[in-house]
Amino acid sequence: STPTARELLGIAVEVAREAADTAARMRAEGVSVAATKSTATDVVTAADRAVERQVVAALRAARPGDVVYGEEYGGAEAGADGVRWIVDPIDGTVNYLYGLPYCAVSLAAEVDGRVVAGVVRNVATGEEWTATAGGGAWRDGQRLRCSTETELGQALVATGFGYDAGRRRHQARVVAELIGDVRDIRRMGAAALDLCLAAEGRLDAYYEKGLAAWDLAAGGLVAEEAGLRVTGLNGRPAGPDLVIAAPPALFAPLHTRLAALDASGGP
Ligand code: IPD
């Protein structure tokens, strides 16, 4: 029988805590770049790999029949029937490498292609955000609500940059314009955490082009369950082209600006 979202969240929370402990311990022992991926700045540490292997093993032990899809080792890309787990062992790998306390384990469970449970745990601070579809977004026992800001000009907006130089330049050109229209811009370096901070109004909104499923799955559910609209451009679902996460009142003005600035364009 299909497990409930709460059952899946229970497993996710336990697995993410152990994974975050491993990441923190490996950080304390010292980290270095193990390899690069898409570009020379897209790095992997031994911890990214070890944590993902640990998560996969723990999920296989808890739920042997499920599919697991992770940043470092892949797995089934398409939404499968039944349960699929989506893992980012360390979101914010560059922060992790430099010892900046803004990196997280992100773990989500999909049922029949829809994310129903997610947890994001900050490796450095232990802060933990959770959500289930229809069950709200939570941090440390507190129900989360997104910002009630209504003016784009007063909004603190986070974004991020991909690893490809051409893409980053395009993204920076968008920021160069948008920064004149908002309170300020943040680039803190972990998409999953940006979405969680928006869920509790510590950021007003967030957008980024080029996110992968593992960056978005858990944090996107947390953001949605806290009241943000999380979509792509022109009603498309959030995905690699663009993710916009904004409270209802900010969504239209931010979407309009991002469309005009061709935020989903470029390489
Ligand atoms: C990256 C971070 C970053 C975002 C990039 C992601 P990683 O994830 O979330 O903030 O701007 O798009 O790739 O590589 O650290 O797991």
**Structural domain boundaries in the chain:** 5-141, 152-260
Q: Is the pTM of this model over 0.95?
A: yes
93 lines ligand 1 (CB under 6 A): yes
Domain 5-141 -> CATH class: alpha beta
Instruction: Using the atom order of ligand 1, give the atom closest to the CA of residue 48.
Output: 16
* Confidence at residue 39, expressed as pLDDT on a 0 to 100 scale: 87
* Confidence at residue 254, expressed as pLDDT on a 0 to 100 scale: 98
* Confidence at residue 61, expressed as pLDDT on a 0 to 100 scale: 96
48 lines ligand 1 (CB under 6 A): no
**Whole-complex ipTM:** 0.96
Span between the terminal Cα atoms of the chain, in Å: 43
Instruction: Using the atom order of ligand 1, give the atom closest to the CA of residue 42.
Output: 14
**Residue 74 Cα distances to 24, 40, 68, 87, 106, angstroms:** 23, 20, 8, 9, 15
Instruction: Using the atom order of ligand 1, give the atom closest to the CA of residue 193.
Output: 9
Distance CA 116, CA 19 (A): 20
Distance CA 88, CA 188 (A): 17
The topology (CATH level 3) of 152-260 is D-Maltodextrin-Binding Protein; domain 2 (3.40.190)
The residues that bridge with 242 in the sheet, in sequence order, are 239
Q: Closest Cα to atom 13, ligand 1: which residue? A: 162
- Tell me the pLDDT of the chain (267 aa) as tens digits: 789 999 999 999 999 999 999 999 999 998 888 888 888 888 888 999 999 999 999 999 999 999 999 988 888 877 667 999 999 999 999 999 999 999 999 999 999 999 999 999 999 999 999 999 999 999 988 999 999 999 999 999 999 999 999 999 999 999 999 999 999 999 999 999 999 999 999 999 999 999 999 999 999 999 999 999 999 999 999 999 999 999 999 999 999 999 999 999 999
* Confidence at residue 80, expressed as pLDDT on a 0 to 100 scale: 65
* Confidence at residue 102, expressed as pLDDT on a 0 to 100 scale: 98
* Confidence at residue 79, expressed as pLDDT on a 0 to 100 scale: 67
Beta strand spans in 123-266 (E)? 128-132, 136-139, 142-143, 156-158, 184-186, 205-208, 229-231, 243-246
**What distance in angstroms lies between residue 230's CA and the mean position of ligand 1's atoms?**
18
**What distance in angstroms lies between residue 67's CA and the mean position of ligand 1's atoms?**
23
**What distance in angstroms lies between residue 190's CA and the mean position of ligand 1's atoms?**
5
Instruction: Using the atom order of ligand 1, give the atom closest to the CA of residue 189.
Output: 10
* Confidence at residue 204, expressed as pLDDT on a 0 to 100 scale: 98
Q: Is the Cβ–Cβ distance between 33 and 44 less than 8 Å?
A: yes
The residues that bridge with 104 in the sheet, in sequence order, are 91, 122
Distance CA 239, CA 225 (A): 18
219 lines ligand 1 (CB under 6 A): no
**What distance in angstroms lies between residue 1's CA and the mean position of ligand 1's atoms?**
35
